[in-house]
């Protein structure tokens, strides 16, 4: 009976998600169709319309690719990696993006090794999503502090920006599909990140203050505690944790 209930809850979530995706994709498709019809009727190619159509197509592409990340977990392979190295790779990858927005990565990494069992590409995706949000939160740039700490049971990655912040009432909604505060956001990055961290038996916590900044804290069990995710969650469980 409980299993059935769980299954139906799961189905509802998937159903809601599917409805959301359909809705999000139908909007740009409707715009595209309208412009194409107009061009057909007027027998013209209007540059402004064409550029709008391109941006609508980009949007569909973005939504679909963010969903593909979710659709891939069957192919996951957990291996032992040092989070420090994974983070360094991501920071290098995002360096030009940060420069472009006058954002500066400032790292404070523990000297200790930070090995965990992880799906490297998925973990990279999480860091990319969170760091991109930090960059986007500071329209005129600023510092982004990346702190890596460890204790015997877990590794903590803190990503802190001095950006626009998040209104208090919005914080609990972040990670639900399509919750976005941006004009051209998808509201999928944090949902994907949350799922990935959950599958790693970790947690994501968000602390934020409007016009002061946001700190996203990702906690992951160390290799030694690999099978202990449940205990870790219980110990650190508190409001605002995902």
- Rule CB under 6 A: which residues touch ligand ADP? 129, 133-134, 137, 161, 163-166, 174, 179-182, 185-190, 214
Strand ranges (E), the chain: 79-82, 103-109, 115-118, 142-150, 154-161, 203-209, 213-221
Which listed range, 111-119, 153-161, 170-178, 182-190, lies at the site for Mg ion (CB under 5 A)?
182-190
Picked from ligand ADP, Mg ion, none, the partner binding residue 162 (CB below 5 to 8 A depending on kind) is none
194 binds, among Mg ion, ligand ADP, none (CB under 5 to 8 A by kind): none
- The yes or no reply on residue 133 touching Mg ion (CB under 5 A) is yes
Assess 194 for contact with Mg ion (CB under 5 A).
Answer: no
The smaller minimum CB distance to ligand ADP, of residues 83 and 131, is found at 131
User: Which of 146, 137, 142, 140 shows the shortest CA–CA distance to 180?
Assistant: 137
189 binds Mg ion (CB under 5 A): yes
Element at 50 (helix H, strand E): helix 47-71
Is 214 an interacting residue with respect to Mg ion (CB under 5 A)?
no
Closest listed residue to residue 198, CA positions, set 223, 215, 179, 175: 175
The window from 78-86, 133-141, 162-170, 200-208 that contacts Mg ion (CB under 5 A) reads 133-141
The item of Mg ion, ligand ADP, none sharing an interface with residue 116, based on CB under 5 to 8 Å by kind, is none
CB of 130 vs Mg ion, minimal distance in Å: 8
> Judged by CB under 5 A, how many residues of this single chain contact Mg ion?
2
The nearest distance, CB 129 to Mg ion, in angstroms, is: 6
Q: How many whole angstroms separate alpha carbon 69 and alpha carbon 100?
A: 26
Residue 156 interacting partner from Mg ion, ligand ADP, none (CB closer than 5 to 8 Å by kind): none
End-to-end CA distance of the chain, in Å? Answer: 26
Q: Which is nearer to ligand ADP, 87 or 232 (CB)?
A: 87
**Which residue's CB is nearer to ligand ADP, number 61 or number 151?**
61
How far is CA 20 from each of CA 10, 15, 65, 186, 190, rounded to the nearest angstrom? 15, 8, 15, 11, 16
Q: What is the DSSP string of 88-131?
A: HHHHHHHHHHHHHTTEEEEEEE-SS--EEEE-HHHHHHHHHHHH
Contact predicate 190/176, CB 8 Å: no
Q: How far is the CB of 194 from ligand ADP (least distance, A)?
A: 9
Q: Which residues bind Mg ion (CB under 5 A)?
A: 133, 189
């Amino acid at each position: 009976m409980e299993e059935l209930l769980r299954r139906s809850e799961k189905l509802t979530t998937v159903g809601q998600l599917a409805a959301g995706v359909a809705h999000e994709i139908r909007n740009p498709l409707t715009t595209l169709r309208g412009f194409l019809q107009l061009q057909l009727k007027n027998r013209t190619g209007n540059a402004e319309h064409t550029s709008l159509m391109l941006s609508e197509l980009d949007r569909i592409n973005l939504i679909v690719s963010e969903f593909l990340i979710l659709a891939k977990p069957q192919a996951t392979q957990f291996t032992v990696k040092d989070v420090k190295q994974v983070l360094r790779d991501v920071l290098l990858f995002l360096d030009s993006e940060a420069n472009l927005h006058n954002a500066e990565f400032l790292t404070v990494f523990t000297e200790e090794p930070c090995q965990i069992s992880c799906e490297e590409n998925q973990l990279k995706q999480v860091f990319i999503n969170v760091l991109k949000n930090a960059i986007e939160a500071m329209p005129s740039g600023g510092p982004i502090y990346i702190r890596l700490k460890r204790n015997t049971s877990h590794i903590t990655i803190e990503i802190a920006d001095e950006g626009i912040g998040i209104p208090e009432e919005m914080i609990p909604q972040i990670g639900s599909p399509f919750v976005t505060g941006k004009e051209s956001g998808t509201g999928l990055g944090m949902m994907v990140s949350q799922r990935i961290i959950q599958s790693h038996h970790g947690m994501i916590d968000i602390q934020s203050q409007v016009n002061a900044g946001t700190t996203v804290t990702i906690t992951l069990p160390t290799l030694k505690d690999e099978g202990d995710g449940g205990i870790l969650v219980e110990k650190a469980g508190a409001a605002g944790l995902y």
